[in-house]
Amino acid sequence: MSETRICANCGAEHAIEDMFEVEGDWLCEDCADRLTVICDHCSERIYEENAVEDDTHILCDHCFDEYYVRCDDCGRIIHRDRAYWDGDDNAYCASCWDEHCEVIHEYSYTPDLVFHGKGLRHFGVELEIDDGGTVNSNAQKLLDIANANAENLYIKTDGSLDEGLELVTHPMTLEYHLNEMPWAEVLRKAQSMGYLSHAAGTCGLHVHISRLAFGCTYEQQEAAIARLLYFVEKFWAELLRFSRRTQSQMNRWAARYGIRLTPSEQMNHAKNSCAGRYTAVNLTNSDTVEIRMFRGTLKLNTLKATLQMVNHLVEVAVLIYASTQEILCKTLKKLRLKAPTDILEPQEGEIMKIDRTGRITTGAFTPHTTFERWWRKYPFYRSYYEDTPTNYDDLFSVAKAFGVTADEVQALLDYGCSEEEIEEMLYDPELFHEMTGELLYAY
């Protein structure tokens, strides 16, 4: 004979296999169907009057207390892992969070900056992502990842984006960007939420460089930034390929200033151009120099390579160029020779000699100014065996009308100037002849 139990509700006796145990009571099937529900989380049967419910959840007290909370605005039940918490420990569902909290700041917003990493060379990244929504809950997910261990990132709107976000880092050294900032996780999360960057066609990757990276005094900074501008203009074709942008995109968002003969002239031209901030090297910020050339990306290796490229540009501007006096002083120090009290710049045709006691003597030679340089035929940025198929006959004809020879035009082409830049220079004869004279007759 099978074991039986008495229903705690109706008092009828039933076989135990036909009954349900609910919170210590035994109920028959009919009473259980009327009086109880199943917890969505643990699948245990509980009295309906004791359940914690909303339109989409039925939970026992234990599961609700352990794993769920109610939204402080609308009262919906949400899993703790999917809740959004404010600074006062209030929980919100995704919908109320978007209405209640301003995680996405206006374009003009700038917080109190936090500098990460040792040294003076800091980089701030502005990465635009699009097509995933200008949604606070999405922004919060990215912030939770980026700021888990330190205050690294904040997020803004940008009028150039359709349905996107601008991710902005606090200033960081290159080492911090590469090793401490959780870029891999941030980019992966953005992709999983449907955001695009390179493929969106609307996104850029801008890198701000602290002015202190270029020197401690205003004069040092200006001189180094001038060399940066000059380098970008001189190697425009190579940097354009690296940027992953088209020339038309550059013209719209990161235009060039146009090359000049020397770094100082390049700086003066840039400052007097009234070009605004939509330039490849934006000089309108008081504390940073912004490189705006690069197309947006959600690929970690591309982002890292871009930061490394910007770091190399700074090194070129700060370290590679040095005056003769600076080079001499450093050399004398390393060789442990007595430094002379005054070092003058050597003149054309002059050889400077410094002996062990620091005495300066000079020699002389006659510079040959008519030697045709090899790069006239084979510029440094092309293969030595590569011929140039481009036909410049129209350009040569226009130049001839201005009294400019084909050799002068070819020298500028070999130097890296575009046809448009050469045509522009034809209207400034003094600059044109100064530049071509330097190129044609340098010894």
CATH 2.40.160 fits 123-320, yes or no: no
User: What is the per-residue pLDDT across 27-57, written as a single tens digit (0 to 9) for each?
Assistant: 999 999 999 999 999 999 999 999 999 988 9
Sequence-ordered list of residues with C-beta below 8 angstroms from that of 381, at least 6 positions apart, any chain: 235, 237, 238, 416
User: What is the per-residue pLDDT across 142-201, written as a single tens digit (0 to 9) for each?
Assistant: 999 999 999 999 999 888 888 899 999 999 999 999 999 999 999 999 999 999 999 998
Q: Measured between alpha carbons, how far is residue 219 from residues 34, 237, 375 in Å?
A: 85, 29, 34
Most confident of 135-139, 332-336, 365-369: 135-139
- Residue-range domain boundaries for the chain: 4-70, 123-320, 324-364, 374-441
CATH 2.60.40 fits 4-70, yes or no: no
C-alpha 355/C-alpha 340 separation (Å) is 10
User: What is the per-residue pLDDT across 375-408, written as a single tens digit (0 to 9) for each?
Assistant: 343 343 333 333 445 677 878 887 887 778 888 8
Q: Does the model's pTM come out above 0.75?
A: no
At 179 the pLDDT is 96
Give the chain's mean pLDDT. Answer: 83
Q: Which two tokens stand for residue 86?
A: 């404010």
At 98 the pLDDT is 66
Q: Which two tokens stand for residue 32?
A: 């259980």
**Least confident piece of the model among 48-57, 72-81, 281-290, 316-325:** 316-325
333 pLDDT tier (thresholds 50, 70, 90): low
For residue 213, report the phi and psi dihedrals to the nearest 5 degrees: -65, -20
Mean pLDDT of 10-30: 89
User: What is the per-residue pLDDT across 360-374, written as a single tens digit (0 to 9) for each?
Assistant: 677 776 654 433 443
By the 8 A CB rule, do 257 and 273 touch?
yes
Sequence-ordered list of residues with C-beta below 8 angstroms from that of 317, at least 6 positions apart, any chain: 214, 224, 225, 227, 228, 231
- CB half-sphere exposure, 140, CA atoms < 13 A: 20
Segment (H or E) for 16: none
